[in-house]
Amino acid sequence: MIRKLELSDVSHVVAVHLSSFPGFFLSFLGPKFLKLFYSGICAAPEGIAFVYLNDDGVPAGFVAGTTNPGGFYTRLLKRDWFKFALASIVPVLKKPAVIGRVARAVSHPSGNPMGDDVAGLFSIGVLPVLQGTGAGKMLVQTFLAEARLRGCARVFLTTDRDGNEYVNSFYEKLGFEIKRQYVTPEGRRMNEYWVATDSFASDKRTY
Ligand SMILES: CC(C)(COP(=O)(O)OP(=O)(O)OC[C@H]1O[C@@H](n2cnc3c(N)ncnc32)[C@H](O)[C@@H]1OP(=O)(O)O)[C@@H](O)C(=O)NCCC(=O)NCCS
């Protein structure tokens, strides 16, 4: 039911992202931007990404991140800056006020942690119709197992503090602990979570 993300899955992952993150900034940037983002993670040697398949074998959930998350966005942008710039034109024209935020999104100066012993879980989503059925939990556990196999002792992620009780309790149930709280330049209050990959019982692949 869970397997590694392949490039041919990316359009499904984009569709799941758009339906599980309505109103979020990356969704506003649109399918072209998201396709570049998820293809970049899929193709990168440091990428860790899996899809959850529904009964018809179609991706209905995903999790995506990388080892050594510090500088990943910069590396991705260096390689594909022109494509990201092209993909951002329409959303920026629609709402010119977002240009500063687009620049920050692609340059991502917030300073993800560096090091081969750390992995960042950047994005996870499950189609609304399957939420609450255990898919998200399996995706996180698979991500942690793979991070561990790649030599990462710890995994970090960030999520909104406000209006996001379900997601926060979802991560806490999976053993993540808040290590830092901060406010983004847009005023979003964020929780930064960490978990040790050895707190996850199995060191075997779950896919
Ligand atoms: C967050 C998300 C990935 C979780 O995936 P999911 O498949 O819904 O979660 P699961 O079904 O695996 O549930 C895991 C746990 O949460 C519990 N849970 C499920 N639905 C719940 C709900 N509505 N309220 C509270 N707890 C709930 C489950 O009972 C389970 O707990 P258990 O292990 O004690 O039984 C998914 O809801 C989603 O895509 N949300 C929108 C996108 C998003 O916000 N992503 C995270 C951004 S950081």
Q: How confident is the model at residue 15 (pLDDT cuts 50, 70, 90)?
A: very high
Residue to probe by mutation, ligand 1, list 126, 168, 191, most atoms within 8 Å of CB: 126
Query: What type of residue sits at position 189?
Result: R
Predicted local distance difference test score (pLDDT) of residue 204? 47
Mean pLDDT of 42-56: 96
What whole-number distance in Å separates Cα of residue 7 and Cα of residue 66? 16
Q: Token pair of 28, please?
A: 């506003």
pTM of structure: 0.91
CA of 161 to the centre of ligand 1 (A): 16
Least confident range of 23-27, 39-43, 116-120, 172-176:
23-27
Q: Which residue in 15, 10, 66, 16 sits closest to 39, CA to CA? A: 10
Query: Does residue 101 have a pLDDT over 80?
Result: no
Domains and CATH numbers, the chain: 2-199 (3.40.630.30)
Q: What would you measure as the largest C-alpha separation in the chain, in angstroms?
A: 49
Predicted local distance difference test score (pLDDT) of residue 203? 45
Q: Mapping DSSP to helix (H, G, I), strand (E, B) and coil, where does residue 49 land?
A: strand
Predicted local distance difference test score (pLDDT) of residue 36? 93
Query: What type of residue sits at position 53?
Result: L
The H-assigned helical ranges of the chain are 10-20, 25-43, 72-94, 99-107, 135-149, 165-173
Predicted local distance difference test score (pLDDT) of residue 40? 94
Q: Is 117 exposed, middle or buried (0-12, 13-18, 19+ CB in 10 A)?
A: middle
Residue to probe by mutation, ligand 1, list 34, 129, 170, most atoms within 8 Å of CB: 170
What whole-number distance in Å separates Cα of residue 15 and Cα of residue 85? 21
Ligand 1, atom 46, lies closest to the CA of 124
